Amino acid sequence: MFYKLFIFVFCIFTTSGSSVQYEKQTQNLRTFPDDFFFGTATSSYQIEGAWNEGGKGWSMWDQLVRTDPGHIRDGTNGDVAANSYHFYKKDVELLKELGVSVYRFSIAWPRILPYGRPDYVNPEGVAYYNNLINELLANDITPFVTIYHWELPQNLNEQGGWLTSEIADWFGDYARVLFANFGDRVKHWITINEPHIHCSFGYGTGSHAPRIKSPGIGYYECGRNIILAHAKAWHIYDKEFRATQGGVIGITLDSTMAMPGSNSPDDIQGAADYMTFYLGQYADPLFSATGNYPQRMIDLVAEASRRQGLNESRLKPFTQEEAKNNIGTSDFFGLNHYSSTYVYRNSSVTGIYEAPSLNDDLQVGTFPDPNWYKNPTAWVYRYGQGLRKLLVHIKDTYNNPTIYITENGFSTATGRNDTDRADYYREYLNGVLDAIDDGVNVKGYCAWSLIDNFEWSFGYSVRFGLYEIDQDDPEKIRKPKYSALVYKEIVRTRTVDPSYNPDLATDASVDIKSSFLFVLAVAVLNIIW
């Protein structure tokens, strides 16, 4: 009997310490609402690898890294990446370890439709995503599926890609295949990721695939076709699948938060115009009552086009029928946000930008607050209140839609002691809590990203992962960073504790030891009893 009591007390002691600590550390800390979810995010080309396996066709990124490998900063590519095509179960194990309830991932269009069209559906591609979805559900993790995260089949790219109006039908056909094959289990769909970034870098500056440089013409045409393609997919889901599958479908937009650099009327108007061009261009057609671009944007681009001697605006507004078809075609507002900026407008910005271009149409300058912490590897400044202000802006501008933060993160170089990323997450999640207090209907947060991934033209020179990937190891070993331990604790406690400071060197071994002792204790109890 003494041994039974000893073992019982031992089990209680080893399993209750963390809850006592939790009660102490959460005093005076705000708690996320019960219906708020935590997750992480990735995209197919950035982590899957297996670029020419399993019946997959070529994407325009497969084409770029073969025809212009020097364009990638460190000369890498996504051919193998984190090899999640073969190691997806390892990724699910990481999600389970973090304790998140949502995983946002994307489906590679050329892995499902190697030639871009639905006349041939690749069974191996369908099987891969079925396996991933089923593995997530078996571990109580909800799949949030992005239909398109910049992986256009190369043969569709050669037929005009996002610069041809036909792509709305191509995209609708592709989306229908996904709904039919996965919609019985996938209840959250994101049509297209970050149309502004995709069009700006792919068809404006030419820094992303397909490397078309047309900043004041192709950029706007790409965005217009993306809105039409999104609406097409939404209506297909709404008419053909929603009643039987019961899911929701929306879009993910990206936005920096712009604030006036001074109290001058020009700076105030400049910041408002910045938000109109960068966010409103894509949000207004879907979330406003007009179904069209913001009138302020229509007027500014038309004025600039006239200055350039053109007979019509480079921005083609939606027709009355198209606008009507756009309205209300997003069940939620997916938001990707990384950084903020101050905006000014004065004579110093007149004529300095390439014309035609969005920047020339907008005519503003930007600068960061010198007190904001900047990561040393990329473009992100840390200012958590910027996210709060952006969320309030969306609430006030678009009638307080349901918002899911589908990406938010901070890049570092290699290494696992990423305390600056952990501080970024803390600061931005506190901004989310502030926004919730402000009445914003924000319901979830996905950290970008689960694992180190191929960061497009930056290659692996910047790392956003909660888990480090050993690129030199054929097994692509995944190791937690300091930020993973901090995020795990935020998920577990549903609070943001600034004093929580895990030991990166010992945390995993402590977890293993505790688990081993508990299992051993239970085994001994079974033997004794």
The pLDDT value given to residue 264 = 98
The pLDDT value given to residue 2 = 41
The pLDDT value given to residue 296 = 98
**φ and ψ at 157, to 5 degrees?**
-60, -40
Residue 432 to residues 302, 314, 373, 423, 426, Cα–Cα distance (Å): 37, 37, 19, 14, 10
Catalytic-labelled residue, pool 48, 221, 407, 427: 407
Question: Residue for token digits 């109109």?
Answer: 276
Dihedral sign, CA of 381, 387, 388, 392? positive
State how far the Cα of 205 lies from the Cα of 183, in Å rounded to an integer: 36
Helix (H, G, I), strand (E, B) or coil at 42: coil
3-state secondary structure 48-80: CCCCCCCCCCCEHHHHHHHHCHHHCCCCCCCCC
Catalytic-labelled residue, pool 135, 151, 194, 427: 194
Contacts 24+ apart (CB under 8 A), 351-358: 354/215, 354/216, 355/216, 355/304, 355/308, 356/215, 356/216, 356/217, 356/304, 356/305, 356/308, 356/314, 357/204, 357/215, 357/216, 357/219, 358/200, 358/204, 358/215, 358/216, 358/219, 358/220, 358/277
Find residue 336's DSSP bridge partners: 254, 407
Q: In which element (H, E) is residue 427 found?
A: helix 419-437
Render each residue's pLDDT in the chain as its tens digit; 529 residues: 443 434 333 333 333 344 434 443 445 899 999 999 999 999 999 999 999 999 999 999 999 999 999 999 999 999 999 999 999 999 999 999 999 999 999 999 999 999 999 999 999 999 999 999 999 999 999 999 999 999 999 999 999 999 999 999 999 999 999 999 999 999 999 999 999 999 999 999 999 999 999 999 999 999 999 999 999 999 999 999 999 999 999 999 999 999 999 999 999 999 999 999 999 999 999 999 999 999 999 999 999 999 999 999 999 999 999 999 999 999 999 999 999 999 999 999 999 999 999 999 999 999 999 999 998 777 899 999 999 999 999 999 999 999 999 999 999 988 999 999 999 999 999 999 999 999 999 999 999 999 999 999 999 999 999 999 999 999 999 999 999 999 999 999 999 999 999 999 875 433 333 333 333 433 433 343 3
Q: What are 379-417's pLDDT values in tens digits?
A: 899 999 999 999 999 999 999 999 999 999 999 988 999
The pLDDT value given to residue 396 = 98
Residue 275 to residues 254, 293, 435, Cα–Cα distance (Å): 11, 12, 18
Does the reported pTM lie above 0.85?
A: yes
The pLDDT value given to residue 230 = 99
Q: How many CA atoms lie within 13 A of 17 on its CB side?
A: 9
The pLDDT value given to residue 27 = 58
User: Alpha-carbon Rg of the chain, whole angstroms?
Assistant: 24
How are beta strands 142-148 and 188-193 bridged, if at all? parallel
The pLDDT value given to residue 507 = 54
Annotated catalytic, 303? no
The pLDDT value given to residue 443 = 98
The pLDDT value given to residue 235 = 99
Cα angle 520, 522, 526; round to 5: 115
Q: How many residues does the chain have?
A: 529
Annotated catalytic, 194? yes
State how far the Cα of 428 lies from the Cα of 490, in Å rounded to an integer: 12
Dihedral sign, CA of 120, 124, 127, 128? negative
